[in-house]
Amino acid sequence: MELTWEILPFIRLGGFELRYYSLLFIVVFLSGWGLYRWQVVRGGGTEADANWMLGIGIVTTWFGGRLAHLVFYEPETFFENPWVFLDVQRGGLASHGAWVAMALALAFYAKWRKQSFVEMCDRMAFTSALGGGLIRIGNFFNSEIVGRATDQTWGVRFPRYEQRMGVEVDPRHFEALLLRHPAQLYEAVWLFLVFGLLMVVDRRLGEKRSRGLLCGLFIVLYFGGRFFLEFFKEFEGIEVGTVLTMGQWLSIPSAMVGSVVLVWSFRRAPPANWITGKGAPGAS
């Protein structure tokens, strides 16, 4: 199967351009808020907890993802002109940075609300899996984070990506372009599968699970799968001098953290329990 992906990444509404990526980001945060609210309220928390985390999540995910992308994937551009950080039209978010920033935000909020940090991470796992998959579809619309060349008997051509890379593109002869793995869609499918597995685990165990099970499972599965899926992605970012990509180097410690959390969950973790702190929004 061959496909030439030349659909514009935006919808024109008069003189305004609305990107599919932006629309998907809105869906990510609305669905993420719904999933987190479902988990928190079911566990005995309040809607205020979910509402506060929606705002915190939007800010920290963008900040951490944007900073990590520029530092690891566009360091020369960033250090020459740090103000590019604020250029939202330029785009560029790294999931590793978004994950770390969200974890720090959860840690701060958990301390403020007198909650368990790991408990909050568990209840955020569904949001992370579904949101990550939707964002990768947005990357596909943007013709970014493309895959490496296939054996040329199947794959997807990305004319806009090739033009950004300086390749001369003739609209009359797209067949001359490389056929590439749709790596964005591979990762999206993987994240949706992880989301489905988390749902199965939650359906079977519910509030009887041990702390750390859901977030540990998400981290191990996502970053473990990401390590292997990176073999299909085009190289990006800092030259690391090995066959591994920057994404793989960043996925290794992430997966190790998830493994530690899982071991702790199976051996020593207390059961799931949401305790509303005193003196914070929504407390009773």
CA distance from start to end of the chain: 58
- CA nearest to 214, candidates 232, 227, 198: 198
- Structure token digits, residue 141: 């619309």
As separate numbers, helices (DSSP H) first and strands (DSSP E) second, the chain gives: 9, 4
| Nearest alpha carbon to residue 222 among 202, 196, 204, 240 | 196
How many CA within 13 A on the CB side of residue 48? Answer: 11
136: annotated binding-site residue?
yes
What would you report as the CA-atom Rg of the chain, rounded to the nearest whole angstrom?
20
Measured CA to CA in angstroms, residue 42 lies from 37, 271, 274 at distances of: 8, 15, 9
Q: Partners of 10 in the beta sheet?
A: 19
Binding residues: 136
